Amino acid sequence: MQRKAEKKWEIEPMELVSNKSMAIIGYGDIGAACAKIAKFGFGMKVIGVKRNPAACSEEYKSYCDEIVGNDAYESSIAQADFVVGVLPKTGETEDFFNMDSTFSKMKPTSVFMNIGRGPTVKEEDLIVALQDGKIAGAVLDVFKKEPLPQDNPLWTMPNVLITPHCAQQDKDFMSDCIF
């Protein structure tokens, strides 16, 4: 994006997502849709993290290389190149993704993505993790306060991609759903 703004034509090697790994936290309907695309569309290794892995349907199990319980959360995010949050908003999940539980445990080359609910992320911790290089980047569709205030530092961070809570706003969303 910076090169585009500067109108610079520079070629550099691109890193493909095939053979990368994705941990999906809160593996349910939305997580299964992500897993299906990641595994079959991009050839990624996919780990689903679910409170009760035994409650997962056989179809949803087929989209993952592995489905684990919350007790394997840390080991799952430690090996993932992409950590995708799809947790619902509950009393237990508020600020779930924070420095102590998540960002300090991820690889510095990892990208955090949140398409679940904004309040599940402690934004000030995410900002510090991005500024300090604890993680490489973030892709964020949901926020604690929406619309995201204009003075929020996430807007100007070069390693953050922001969408306005529109991950499901495809005109064919309901007819294309896998569930």
- CA 105 to CA 103: how far, in whole Å? 5
DSSP annotation string for 40-88: IIH--EEEEE-S-GGGS-HHHHHT-SEEE-GGGHHHHHHH-SEEEE---
Residue 117 annotated to the active site: yes
**Which one is catalytic: 6, 94, 117, 123?**
117
The amino acid occupying position 140 is L
Closest CA to 80 of 97, 62, 92: 97
**Which one is catalytic: 59, 74, 124, 146?**
146
Residue 12 annotated to the active site: no
- CA 4 to CA 176: how far, in whole Å? 33
Helix segments in the chain, DSSP class H: 2-6, 29-36, 42, 58-62, 73-79, 123-131, 173-176
Residue 74 annotated to the active site: no
Q: Could you give the residue numbers annotated as active site? A: 117, 146, 165
